[in-house]
Structure 1
Amino acid sequence: MRSDPPDDPDTLREKIIGLGEASLHKSYYPELQSRLAELERFRALLDQTHDAIFLIHAETGNLADVNASAGMCLGYSREELLTTPFLNLVAPQQKAGFAEFVRMNCDQPPASHWTCIASLVSREGREIPMEVTARFVAFDGEQYIVAIARDITDRLQAERELKIKESALASSTNGILIADLTGAIMYANPGFVSMFGYERGGALAGRNLAAFFADPAVGEKVADHLLKDRAIVEETIGLQSGGAPFHIQVSGSVVQNDAGQPLCIMLIVMDITERVVTDQMKREAYTQLGKNIEQFAILGDHIRNPLQVIVGYAEMIDDPLARKILDQSNRIDEIITRLDRGWIESANVRKFLRRHGDDAEPPAPIFVRIAATKKEDP
C-alpha cells in the first residue's frame, strides 16, 4: 500500500525470491497453479467433445489451436493442423463461397455467431459435410475466429430418407391419413385431400377422423379398434367435403416407437366406389340371367304344347303335305331341344361364375353350343 512504509532493500529482495513471510512467490504461485489446473481441465473437456473446434487467426486464416476431435475427424495430427490454413481444409468447390461468407460476417457484433454448411476434406480426401458455427473473438488485441464444426453426415442421410418417405406418401394415389391417439388429424397426403374433395391439406389439420365417415360412429369404432388391436381392414362409406357419400376401404395401423408404445394412427383409404358399383351390376345381371333362363324354359314348354297338337293332326291326315308338316314340326322341336341344352349350360355357367368369379376360366363342357348340336330322334 502507498501508506505503508517502504521496505528496505533486504526485505524487498527476500519477498521477490520467496524467502520472506510476505513473499510474492508464495502469494501468487498457488493461484497460478490453480489457474493452470483449471485450464488443463478445460482443455481436456474440449478434447472430449465430438465437435471439431478450430481457433483461426482472422487476419491470416492460419490455425492457432485445435482440439483433439478436429484431428480425429480429419485424420491429421495437431501439429499438422497448426501448420495448415483453415481454408485448405474446405472442399475445393466451396472455398470461394466459404471465404465470401466469412467476409460478409466480419462486421457482425462481437457476441453474434453465424452458421453455414461446408464440407471439410480429410487426409484421405473424403469430403465430410459439416455444420460450422463461428464467431469473432479478441485475445490480447488480436482478432480470432472460433469455429465449431459438427459432422452432419448421419443427419443428411436421415433427411434424405425422410424426403424419400415424404415423397412416397405425397405421390401415393391412395389417401393416407395420420392422426394422433385422440383421432385428431396431423397429416393428410394430396391423395386423401383430393379423394375427399378438399382444396388443401391444411384445412384438415386438427379435425377428428370421424368427420370423414358417413356414420361418425364408424370412425370412432376404427380408432378404438386400432388402439386395441393395432390393425384393421374394413369397407365402409366415406363422406366428402360437400356431403356426398362414397364407398371406401380403410386399412390402418398404430405407429409405435422402439419401446412398443403407440405414437399415432395411420390410415390408408382406397376409393372402391367403382368396384362396389360393378359388383352390384354383376349381382343384378346374375339375378336377371336366372330369371331369363326360367322364362326361356317355360316358353319352350309353351311352344311344345301346341306343336304336339299340330303333329297329332298331321299324322291323322292322309295327304302328301302332312309329311312336310311333320318334317317342319320335327325341326322346330329340334331347335327347342337345342335351346333347352343352351339354357341348362347357361345356368351352369352362371353357377360357376358365382362360385369362382368372372376371371375364372369355366371348364370346356359347359360352353354354350347350339348350332352344332347333332339332330336326335324325337
Structure 2
Amino acid sequence: MLQNEIEINILLIEPNEKDALLIRSHVEKIKDFSINMTAFNLVDDARDYLASASPSIILLSVNFPDSTGLSKIKKTASIQPAVPVVVLTDSGANGFAIESIKAGAQDYLLKDKMDSDTIRRSILYSIERKKHESALRESETRFKDLANQLPQIVFETDSKANLTFANELAFSTFGYSEEDFSNNLSAIQMIVPEERKIAKDNFAKVLGGAKSDSSQYTALKKNGTSFPIVIISKQICRDGVSAGLRGVIVDLSDRKSAQENLIRLSRAVEQSPVSVMITDLQGNIQYVNPKFVQVTGYTMDEVKGKNPNILKSGFTTGGEYQNLWSTITSGNEWRGEFHNKKKNGEFYWESASISPITDHEGKIINYLAVKEDITQQRLFEKELIWSKEKAQESDKLKSEFLMQMSHEIRTPLHSLLNYSRMIREEAQNSPNVNEEISRCLDGIEKSGKRIIRTMDLILNVAQIQTGTYELMPEFFNIYDDLLSALFLEYSPMAEMAGLEFSLSRESENTLILTDRYSVHKIVENLVDNSIKFTSSGSVSVSVGRNDEEKLFIRVTDTGIGMSEKYLKKIFNPFSQEKQGYSRPFDGNGLGLALIKKYCDLNLIDISVKSRKGSGTTFLLTFPS
C-alpha cells in the first residue's frame, strides 16, 4: 500500500476546545496519508467508543480536570493496550512528559511547539514503536512460557548478580515470592555462605567474557535448607557491553540420592554374608562378591567370563540344571540347593536363589544368584536325623522293655490275686478264720490292684511319649456306653468309703465322636482320684451340653482340695502336693499327667477349680 493510501484513525481526547481546534487544523495539513479523527472531551466519554472501535492511535491531553496525573495515562493505555498513546502536554512539563512514557505512552508532544510535521512524525513513530513493543512482549511471553515448561531452573541476572528473570520452577524450588524477586534478590545470596566467595569469583569471570561456566554449589532455600546444584551460565551482552549472566540450574538432590543409594547397595553386596554372582544372558560370570571368593577359593579374575559350571561336582543332574535355566529365562525366580565343589576339590552345600534382572521395559539383561553356604547346617541336620533314629530306637527298646516287664509282673501278680481270692472263698466257709486273716487277704488284693494300676499308667504314658498310641475315633453314646459302666464299677468303692456317688444327665444328646479308650481312661482316673481323696461327703459326675452345644463332663467332689500354688503344676508328671513316704495317700503322680496328654490328643479342653479343704471340680469340654 502506498503511503497516501494509508488510513489512520485518530482518537483525540482534549477538553480544551481551542486546543482541539488547533490540533485538528494541524492534522488536516497532513496530506501523505488518509486521516480520520474522532474527538472527545473526557476519557469517560471515550469509553463506549473504545469498547466498539479500535483507533490507530490515541492523542491524549493531560491538561483537563478529570484526568490528571500518571494514573490517568495508565488508565487510558489499559483500555486498549494494543493502541499507541501520544501524550499532549503544556510547555514546562518536560519532567511529567518523560514520566508519561514510563507510564505506558509511546511519545509525547509539547503543545506550544506542535505543528503538522511534528504530529505526523510522532504518529508514525508511535505506531511503529507500538508494533516493536508488541513483538517484544510476544517474544518475552514465548520465552517465559518456554522457560516455565523446562524441567530445569532458568534465570538471568544483571551485572551485579541481582536476578532479573527466573522461571516458575525457580520460585517453587527456592521458596521465594514475586515480592522477594522484585526487591533485587541476589543470586549469590542463594548459595551457602562458605561457597559464596567461589560463586562471586566464577560470576566475575563469566561476566568478564570467560568461557561458559559449569560449577557445582550447595544452594540455600529461603527456609534455610540446602541442596546440591549445578549452575551452567554464559555472558549476556547488550550493545557490546556485558550486562549480566543467563543460565540454568540443575537440582542434583535426586541424582545425589541415587548415587548414595548405589554406593550403599554396592557396599551391602561387597560386605554381604552370602555369595553374590551376576552373569550375562549366556550365563557367563560378570561379577562375584568377596564372600564368593572366600567360600569357593576362586578369585574374581579366575571366574570372570567363565560359566558357573566350574563349581559342578557331578551330584546335580542335567534335568535339574535344565529346570533351573527354563525357570529363570521365563522371568521367574528359581530356588534350590547345590552340592558343589570348591577350587581345592572340597565339596560343599549351598542354598541358592537365582532370578532375572530386567531393565525399565521389563527386558532381561542379567541373572543374579544369591547363595549361602549350608554345609554346616547339612551336617547338623544329618546328626539330628541320626540322633532322632537313635532316640526312636531307644524309645522302641524302652517300650518293648516296659511291655515285657509289664507281662513279667502282671502274670505272677494275677496268679497271686487268683490264689488270694481262692483263699478268701475258703476262709469265708471256715469257722477258724478270724478278722485279721480277712484283713490280710484284703490287703493282698488291694496292693495287687495298685501294682496293676501303676503298670497300666506307666505303659499308657510310655505309649504317648513314644508316639505309638493311635487314636481311633468312633461315634458312641458317652452316657450309656461309658459313664454308666464306670458308675456301676465305682459305686461299690464309693459305698465302702461312705460317700454319696451320683451320675446325672443334663442333655438328652450325649452322642460324641472321639477315642473311646483314652476318654474312658480320663474319666476313670478323675473318678478314682475323687473317691480316693474324699473322706466324707459326695462325688458326682454329670454330662451335658453348654451354650455352644459342646459336650461336657463335670466331675465334682467334696474332698481335700488343692492349694492355688499346686494347681499351677497339677499336670506335671510325678507331681503330688504331699511328697515323701509319710504322705497319707498312695499314688505315683502319673494319673493327672496322663489325663492331660489324653485330653490334648483328643482336643479336649480340661479346666480345674479347687480350694484347699473344700473339694475339687474338673470340667472336660469336647470339641464341636
Instruction: Identify whether the pair has TM-score above 0.5, normalized to the shorter chain.
Output: yes
- 1:260 Cα shift? 5.9
Distance 1:31 1:145, change over 3 A: closer
Structure 1 residues 199 and 206: alpha-carbon distance in aligned structure 2, compared to 1, 3 A threshold: closer
**Quick check: 1:199 aligned with 2:299?**
yes
Structure 1 residue 242: deviation in Å? 5.9
Look up the match of 1:236.
338
Change (3 A) 1:171 1:103: farther
Question: Does residue 138 of structure 2 align to residue 37 of structure 1?
Answer: yes
TM-score for both structures, normalised by structure 2? 0.37
Specify the alignment match of 1:270 in structure 2. Answer: 372
Which residue, 288, 294, 297 being the options, matches 1:188?
288
1:172 to 268, 272, 278: 272
2:154–2:170 Cα contact (<8 Å) kept: yes
Asked if the contact 1:255–1:263 (Cα under 8 Å) also holds between the matched residues in 2, the reply is yes
Task: Quote the offset at 1:45 in angstroms.
Answer: 0.7
Between the aligned partners of 2:203 and 2:280, the Cα distance in structure 1 is: 44
Question: How far apart are the structure 1 equivalents of 2:225 and 2:282?
Answer: 48
1:76 aligns with 2:176: yes
Higher relative contact order (CA 8 A, sep 6+): 1
Q: State which of 126, 144, 148 in structure 1 corresponds to 2:248.
A: 148
3-state SS of 1:198 partner: coil
CA contact 2:214–2:230 (8 Å) conserved in 1: no
CA 1:259/1:36 → structure 2, altered by over 3 Å: closer, same or farther?
A: same
Sort the Cα spacing of 1:272 and 1:101 in 2 relative to 1 into closer, same or farther, 3 A: farther
Structure number with larger C-alpha Rg: 2
**Deviation readout 1:188-236 (Å, 9 max, x if unpaired):** 2221233232334x66444434444345956565333223472222222
8 Å contact from structure 2 (residues 275, 289) kept in 1: yes
- Given that 2:283 and 2:367 are in contact with CA atoms closer than 8 Å, whether structure 1 keeps it comes out as yes
Q: Distance in 1 between matches of 2:192 and 2:328?
A: 51
Picking from 334, 340, 351, the partner of 1:249 is: 351
Matched, 1:55 2:156: yes
Amino acid in the other structure paired with 1:247: W
* 1:170 alignment partner AA: E
Q: Among 156, 163, 167, which residue is 2:263 paired with?
A: 163
Q: Which whole-Å deviations, capped at 9, do the CAs of 1:155-201 have from their partners, x for residues lacking one?
A: 3333333333322222111101233443233432221233232334x
Partner residue of 1:130 out of 220, 223, 229: 229
CA distance in 2, matches of 1:81, 1:28: 29
State how 1:299-378 maps to structure 2 within 5 Å. Answer: none
Q: Secondary structure at the match of 1:47?
A: helix
Post-superposition offset of 1:46: 0.8
Aligned length in residues: 283
CA deviation after TM superposition for structure 1 residue 55, in Å: 1.6
SS in 2 for 1:132: strand
Q: Is the 8 A contact 2:337 2:351 kept in 1?
A: yes
Matched, 1:86 2:187: yes
The TM-score, its normalising length taken from structure 1, stands at 0.58
Conservation of the 8 A alpha-carbon contact between 1:119 and 1:129: yes
Is 1:98 aligned with 2:209? no
Could you tell me whether the CA contact under 8 Å between 1:68 and 1:78 is conserved in 2?
A: no
* Distance in 2 separating the partners of 1:283 and 1:236: 20
2:195 maps to amino acid: Q
Q: Would the alpha carbon gap of residues 280 and 73 (structure 1) be closer, same or farther in structure 2, given more than 3 Å must change?
A: closer
Out of 203, 218, 226, the position equivalent to 2:328 is: 226
- In structure 1, runs of 5+ residues without a counterpart are 1-9, 292-347, 353-363, 366-378
For the aligned residue pairs, the C-alpha RMSD in angstroms reads: 4.6
CA contact 1:91–1:121 (8 Å) conserved in 2: no
| Deviations 1:274-322, CA, capped at 9 Å, x for gaps | 344555677789999999xxxxxxxxxxxxxxxxxxxxxxxxxxxxxxx
Report the residue type matching 1:129 in the other structure: P
1:139 aligned onto 2:241: no
Structure 1 residue 143: deviation in Å?
A: 4.9
Unpaired runs of at least 5, structure 2: 1-30, 33-116, 394-461, 467-572, 575-624
Identical columns (%):
17
Whether contact under 8 Å (1:114, 1:135) holds in the other structure is no
| SS of structure 1 residue aligned to 2:176 | coil
Amino acid at match of 1:88: Q
**Could you tell which deviates more after superposition, 251-260 or 65-74?**
251-260
Aligned mates of 2:206, 2:276 — CA distance in 1: 45
Task: Give the equivalent residue in structure 1 for 2:37.
Answer: none
Seen in structure 2, the aligned counterparts of structure 1 residues 185 and 81 have a Cα distance that, compared at 3 Å, is farther
